Structure 1
Amino acid sequence: MTKMTETQSIILTAGAQRPENIALPLPKGLAGAAAKMAVTKMIEHGWLQEVDANLRRGEPLWRETGDGHGTTLIVTDAGLLAIGIEPVVVKSVVAIRKHAAKTPAPMEATAAQPKQRAGTKQGMLIEMLRRPQGASIAEIVEATGWLGHSARGAISGVLKKKLALPVTAEKIEGRGTVYKLEIA
């Protein structure tokens, strides 16, 4: 019997838990030549198989084939057995998950709203935007230590989308784009 490395075991275990037994993404820190060598050995042992990636479903790519298509890696039945998992069990779990995903969850009376934590950079950002003069990106960067793109991302991603706060933007000569939060 072939001895399995810890990295190979991690790849197979993670793949066994994903839909369609997709082995990607590989563990952090495993890239380049080391990743290629580990995957090649696993394919030789029959633990992984390279198959065409379904880009419509957003399957991760292992490599591009050069003709506009790509491949992904899946854990084979032999790979599952190598880590002590019966392939039938994995297929049953996948079927149960698919059924559960199709079954609508009961509606809760009140949806949990994300909470604002005091004393954080996010809290500081909200306070800056609540001021009558608002805050420019330069002012936010100076106060938080973030980079400009991080500040804009926090405004659009966290404040506007996640917390659903009414943030407005206005170009003001001499200050640039100034963001304000109008809360009654």
Structure 2
Amino acid sequence: MTKLTETQTIILSAGAQRPDNIALPLPKGLAGAAAKMAVTRMIGHGWLQEVDANLHRGEPLWRETGDGHGTTLVVTEAGLLAIGIEPAVASAVAGAQNTKPTPKPAPTLDAADTMKPVAIRVGTKQAQIIAMLQRPDGATVAEMVEATSWQAHSVRGMISGSLKKKLGLPIASEKVEGRGTVYSLAAGV
């Protein structure tokens, strides 16, 4: 597996957080020949793909095609996997972000503050819990405690804090006779 450079990681992480996984705009300071070289390498690895830009939706242009149209850059599933994000989780996060009724105001950043990209690393307990919630029959707190060796309050905290609030995943819960409260990712995710 090819090791990512810092610039490649920044481009892929930022793109994974945007609607439709659009990788533009590129980081500040990356322009001209350096930008072209970085993008060309990432396309070669299959991490980015050039697609027709929808100018009516205001998608940013990577280059003009000469016939009055242009292309934009999109992070592929391979690009998501390269930074440790499962494509199913990324689409769930994007779907959840698109269904929120009222967007939260953007946080104000001081010069010392920076926004950190959301990345779900493969093989972590968080990824394990998400996989359990994606099962057709969902998972109970007891099942997640057994799988992760965490305390029950830690599992509930992960569900409400990290998954619901930070990632915006639509977690549903229902009482099932004989099992107790079963948590699952809402249908369509």
Report the TM-score, using the length of structure 2 for normalisation: 0.53
Gaps (5+ residues) in structure 2?
104-189
Matched with 1:74 is 74
Is 2:25 the counterpart of 1:29?
no
With a CA cutoff of 8 Å and minimum separation of 6, indicate the structure with the bigger relative contact order.
2
Q: In the aligned structure 1, how far is the partner of 2:28 from the partner of 2:55?
A: 22
Instruction: Give the 3-state SS of the residue equivalent to 1:36 in structure 2.
Output: helix
> Any idea what SS the aligned residue of 2:61 has?
coil
CA distance in 2, matches of 1:94, 1:83: 16
Match of 2:13 in 1: 13
Counting only pairs closer than 5 Å after superposition, residues 69-148 of structure 1 correspond to structure 2 as: 69-100=69-100, 103=101
Runs of 4 or more, structure 1, over 4 Å off, are none
Per-residue deviation at 1:33? 0.1
Q: TM-score, normalised by structure 1?
A: 0.55
Report the Cα distance in structure 1 between the residues aligned to 2:53 and 2:63, rounded to whole angstroms.
9
Q: CA deviation at 1:4?
A: 1.1
- Could you list the runs of 5+ residues in structure 1 that have no partner in the other structure? 106-184
CA RMSD, aligned part only?
A: 1.1
How far the C-alpha of 1:42 sits from its partner, in A, is: 0.1
Rg: which structure is higher?
1
Whichever residue aligns with residue 95 of structure 1, its letter is G
**CA distance 1:36–1:94, shift in 2 (3 Å):** same
Deviation digits for residues 101-122 of structure 1 (CA, Å, limit 9, x no counterpart) = xx358xxxxxxxxxxxxxxxxx
Measure, in 1, the Cα distance between the counterparts of 2:54 and 2:60. 9
Tell me how far apart the structure 2 counterparts of residues 18 and 32 of structure 1 sit (CA, whole Å): 23
| C-alpha separation in 1, matches of 2:79 and 2:10 | 11
